[in-house]
Amino acid sequence: MSSRIIHLALHPYGVGGPGQHGLWKDPRVAKNASIDIGYYIRQAKAAEHALFDALFIVDSQFINATYPAHYLNRLEPLTLLSAVATHTRHIGLVGTASSTYNSPFNLARRFASLDHISGGRAGWNVVTSFDTGTSRNYGLDEHLDYATRYGRALEFVQVARGLWDSYEDDAFPADVERNVFLDPAKLHELNHVGEHFKVAGPLNISRSPQGQPVIFQAGVSEEGRDLAAQVAEGIYAPGGTLEQAQEYYADIKRRTAAYGRNPDHVKIFIHGGPVVAATDEAALRREREIFEEDNDFDRNLALLGRSFGAYDFGTHDLDAPFPDVAHLAEKGGRTGASKIIERARAENLTLRQVAESVNTFRRSPFVGAPETVADTIEQWFDAGTFDGINLAFRTDDDLDLFVDGVVPLLQKRGLFRTEYASDTLRGNLGLPIPVNRHTAAAS
């Protein structure tokens, strides 16, 4: 087995998120899948049987009636993952939670709880929230601007990590004969006072077998990449072409080293939606069928609006030039929105043309017979584009095709594990256990 192996995570679709507009119509998909804990438990067990590293749950806290089916009716990530934890033993459990619309103490406690419930398998995907309407669900008139959201995110993670170090590892002797449950010298207040937060601590829960939950982040913009390089241990990368993935991978590793961190301690996952079939031709045909199933113009128009703070583009003439909405990008998905605006201007596109391009058919590299898909994964891995793949499958059948057809080939080539190395998420990702800061300071 090579010392460098591929890491695999599973991202369940439920009844269909952005871009999978027609998935809920598939007769193999239960219409309540996104709120059925049994669905997630089955997915997690299948992924664990295949030795995947993690189950990854995305989230947002704002909807309107135009949002994708999965967004309209889904379980809260930490509640969901706590239930899944009791039915699994090895697979990591990564939940998305906003640093903009949470408080550090509450969120640190919830993730620490998941870490204990799972025996050290929790991960936190840190997001700054680009759905601007979320602000109104938290008593704010406006969404925080880009710089504030990222500054808050950095400080939030720093505070959470400080709270997770409230107890040193040997803080609880629980010595009945000496009548000592806690060694008070091993309990530490945080007393953090910063630009965005003032948190006294300590946190009322001890460290887990992996020390602290693993921090994940998806950095695309300059601010996002910089935040990822400073704090992330796992990164969800945008993917794109092989060359784009290489550029992103090299850039993040370079930035990580510049912050004095070991680049090997940051695992970069690209998105992958494999389509596996008995032959290359059948897989390519199925990929095109999937695109047609999901190609709904009204949904694409609504999806376009998400990047601009759930803006309703339906109020504009579809055949007029793309409207001037640059002011909406700053508090929305700025990087994606800016690219849309630049392209619309450069190519003089109408609103209709831009909306149609949201869901343009783009062939995935990971499509074909099992051997073809395994070959491509190996090629991309060797080319320095990822440490892992965050996999999304439309149905249980599609997951089974990958697990039964592709995974054994990767194992045979020494690219994927044949057994779990650890009971913790850190252990399986090859990440070190963080040394408690107070223990380190005393040594």
Residues forming the annotated binding site for FMN? 59, 96, 150, 221
User: In terms of Cα–Cα distance, which of 215, 210, 62 is closest to 153?
Assistant: 215
Check if the beta carbon of residue 245 is closer than 8 Å to that of residue 237: yes
Integer Cα distance of 349 and 12 in angstroms:
34
- Binding-site residues sit at 59, 96, 150, 221
Q: What are phi and psi of 80, to 5 degrees?
A: -60, -50
